[in-house]
Structures are given as C-alpha cells and as structure tokens.
Amino acid sequence: MGDLEDKIAIIIGASRGIGASTGKALANAGATVCLAAPAPETCEPIVDSIHAVAGEAEAFDCDVSDSAQVEDLVSNIHKKYGQIDILINCAGIMGPVARLEDCDPDAWSQCISINLTGAFNACRAVLPYFRRRNSGVIVNMSTGAAFNALQGWSAYSSSKAGLVMLSQIIAAEVQDAGIRIYSFQPGMVNTKLGHQSMKVDINKVTNLDPNSFSPPTEPAQAIAWLCSEEAADLAGTEVVITDPAFRRRAGLQPVD
C-alpha cells in the first residue's frame, strides 16, 4: 500500500461501514484522518481504535447536506492542520425502496440531498484548497446501480448516476491542476446500507443475502491504495473493485 504519511484526510460519512473502515485503512497507511458525521460521537469508537494503534484521528460534526456546515468543516480542518490532501465521500442512504408512484417525495429528495448534493458540497469545499497546492485526491462512492435500472431504486440509482457524472465533470475541470478524482464502485458490501436495500423484495438484487457480501475492510483497502501515487494513472476513471487487474494492483484477493 502507498505511504500516506503526513497526509490529512477527510472522510464524510465515517461512523460506520465503508467510511469507518476507510478511516482505519488510511490511518494505517500513515494519514491523519478527520472522521465526519452528523453525530460525531458515533465516530468516537473508530477514533479510539485508531489511537490504540498509534494512529491519528479526530471526529467532527457535519451534516453533508448542509453546505454551510461542510464549508465550516473543511475550513476548520484546514486551520487546524494547515493542509487537506484527501477527501472520501462515503455518506449515503438507500432512500425509499419502492416503485416510483409509491415513493415519499420528501424521502426521495433526502436521498438526492445526501448522496449527490452532499458530495457536491464536499467537493466544492475542498477544491480551492487543493488548487492552491496543485494536489489532492477525491474518491466518490459509485455503484453498479448507477448504470443499471433496478425497479424500486429510483432514488438511490438516480443519486449515484448523478454522482458519476459529477465526478466526470470535476475530472475534466481539474485535469491540469494536479488533482485526482476517482469514481469508485465498492461492489456488494456487508454494511447497514446493504441490509437496508434488502428490506423490500422488489428486484433481483433484493433477493441476495447481504451476509454473503464482502466486508467493508476490502473496499477500504482499495480506497487507501487509490489515495497513493501508485494509482495516479487511474485518475478520472470509473474504478470497479471486481476488475481483476485493479484487484491485483490494489493487493486484493482474486475473486472467483
């Protein structure tokens, strides 16, 4: 894994699942990790586990759907550490799982607000700091559902499809600024979000057993590798964790 010593990383949505595991992976690679969630106390167990192995971590309060809160978070972290090197956008909800005519409009809008607008808020807040230093890494959580129409997943899939395009646009805008952005598909992961997606039997995916999915430590390892210089040639691309070539480079076990 690449060396992230002296890097300052912000992880949005870090209280559980992929975000929490990524915090530990980045800290293990030497980064100082800033774990953000609407209830920062939920990040404290992750902070404690990182401190237990001599890593550096701190929990921060932030509702990613509130642009002012995100700007304050980024500004405060920059004031404290003097730099920001990495942004990982892990905040996400499943949204209403229902056919379109049965979706609650407010719940549908909340999914877009967190999954898409939240990532926009975070990217927008860090990019000026990245541009000043001509460096920085952003990893946005993509999904195969952004490319495949699944009944009942209009909110989640639409938010992620928008995020894929947002990542592509940012890549085009920063291509000469020394900034790397990745749209990363972590695959099927055994997390709370994964379990939530199975509550309503509405499409072929919801019939799967989330306990058979990969642990969140696997995508976390892949994300930590993406933050290293070894992954620079993949910047601006859609990275899929199941791709055999990617798995070899990231040090992941082959899949059957």
CB within 8 Å of 33: residues ≥ 6 apart: 9, 11, 14, 23, 26, 27, 50, 55, 56, 57, 58
Catalytic residue among 81, 129, 156, 182: 156
Of 189, 181, 186, nearest to 242 by C-alpha is 186
Q: What is the DSSP string of 163-231?
A: HHHHHHHHHHHHTTTTEEEEEEE--SB-SHHHHHTTSS--SSGGGS-GGGSBPTHHHHHHHHHHTSGGG
Report long-range pairs for 234-237 (Cβ below 8 Å, ≥24 apart): 234/182, 235/171, 235/180, 235/181, 235/182, 236/168, 236/171, 236/172, 236/175, 236/180, 236/181, 236/182, 237/182, 237/183
| Residue 156: active-site member | yes
Q: How many CB atoms lie within 10 A of CB 3?
A: 12
The residue type found at 71 is E
Please give the radius of gyration of the chain, using alpha carbons only, rounded to the nearest integer.
17
Q: Which residues are catalytic?
A: 156
